[in-house]
Amino acid sequence: MSTDFYFNLKKFFLSLLYPSSVIFIFLLIVSIYVVLGKRRGRRRFLLFVALFLYYISSTPFFPYLLFKYLERKQQIPSLEQIKTAKYLIVLNGKVYNHKNLSLEERFSRETLVRVLKAIEIKKQFPQKELLILGGSSNGESVSQYFQALAYKWEVNLKTIEDPKDTFESVKYLKKFLSQSNESFILFTSAYHIPRTSYLMEKEGLRPIFYPTNYNYKLCKPSFSIWSFIPDDIYITFTNMAVHEYLGLFFYKLKYFIGRFL
C-alpha cells in the first residue's frame, strides 16, 4: 500500500483520541444504550464524562495549561544567533486549495505567521536562503501560493513539498544538510517545538528554533464570568494541544521500540 494510505490511517486513529472525538464517541455510546434501553448506570457515567470533557475543553483553563507547558520555555533567538544561520527553514502547516480565496486566505493562521516571520528575517538578511518545507496534506501542490506570497513581499524562497509531516520533514533536513554543517533557523509554532526538537535530536540535528503562534497567550483566562462560559474555539485549541502530546508520545514510543528491532 502507498505511503499516503499509512499517513492518512495514522492521522485518522490519532484524531479519534482528540477530546472532540472522545466526546462524540461517548455520546454515541450513550445514545445506543438509550435506544436499546440497557445499562442505565454505564450510560449515566459516560454521559457525565462526556459533559465534563466538553466543559473543560470548551473553556480556556484546560487548553491554557496544556499550551503553557509546551510553550513556556520557547524563546525568540537573539540577533547574534540569527546572524550565524545560513538557512531560514519554515515547517509548513495547512494550505487551502479551495477556489475563490485570496492569497492570504489560503494559509492557516499557523502557516501565515510562520512564513511572514521568516520573510521578515529574510528581508533583514537577504543573503540567507529561505526554504518552505512540507506540502499540502491532500496531495495537491501549494508551492505556487508560497511563490506568490514571496513575490508580493519581494523575496526569494524555495519550496520542498515531499515531506507530509514533521517526521518526514526532519528526515529530509537530515539528508539536505548531510554534506554541510551550516546552522539553520527553524520557524514553527511554539507548541510544536517540543515534538520537533525531540525528532531533531534523535536525528542529530541542532536547529535554532524561532517560535511563533504562542497559543497559551490566546487561551489565558481572564477570570471573568465569560471565561466560564463554553466557547467552541477552545475545543479547537484543546484538540491542537492534545495532538502535540499524542504526537510526542507516538514518536517516543516509535524510537523506543526501534531500539529493539
pLDDT, tens digit (0-9, with 9 covering 90-100), for 50-87: 999 999 999 999 999 999 999 999 999 999 999 999 99
Assess whether 107 and 192 both reside in one domain: yes
| pLDDT tens track for 8-33 | 777 787 788 888 888 888 888 888 87
Query: What burial class does residue 145 get, using C-beta atoms within 10 Å of its C-beta: 0-12 exposed, 13-18 middle, 19+ buried?
Result: buried
Instruction: Determine the pLDDT at residue 261.
Output: 74
Assess whether 88 and 139 both reside in one domain: yes
Assess whether 42 and 166 both reside in one domain: no
Domain that holds residue 249: 3-70+230-258
Average pLDDT over residues 31-53: 82
pLDDT above 80 for 45: yes
Assess whether 116 and 138 both reside in one domain: yes
pLDDT above 70 for 138: no
Assess whether 81 and 118 both reside in one domain: yes
Do the Cβ atoms of 50 and 20 come closer than 8 Å? Answer: no
Average pLDDT over residues 23-45: 81
Instruction: Determine the pLDDT at residue 151.
Output: 95
pLDDT above 80 for 41: no
219 falls within a domain: no
Assess whether 81 and 57 both reside in one domain: no
* Confidence at 181, pLDDT banded by 50, 70, 90: confident
| Number of separate domains in the chain | 2
Assess whether 116 and 155 both reside in one domain: yes
208 falls within a domain: yes
The region of weakest confidence among 34-48, 138-152, 222-236 is 34-48
225 falls within a domain: no
SS3 18: coil
Q: Which amino acid is at 225?
A: I
Average pLDDT over residues 149-163: 93
Model-level pTM greater than 0.85? yes
Assess whether 13 and 35 both reside in one domain: yes
84 falls within a domain: yes
SS3 214: coil
195 falls within a domain: yes
> What CATH number has the domain bearing residue 116?
3.40.50.620
Buried b (16+ CB within 10 A) or exposed e, 151-168: eeeebebebbbebbebbb
The percentage of residues in the chain with a pLDDT greater than 70, rounded to a whole number, is 94
197 falls within a domain: yes
* Confidence at 102, pLDDT banded by 50, 70, 90: very high
Assess whether 98 and 150 both reside in one domain: yes
Give dist(CA 60, CA 55) in Å, integer.
10
Assess whether 103 and 200 both reside in one domain: yes
| pLDDT tens track for 185-215 | 999 999 999 999 999 999 999 999 999 999 9
Assess whether 65 and 80 both reside in one domain: no
* Confidence at 6, pLDDT banded by 50, 70, 90: low
Instruction: Determine the pLDDT at residue 178.
Output: 79
Assess whether 66 and 153 both reside in one domain: no
221 falls within a domain: no
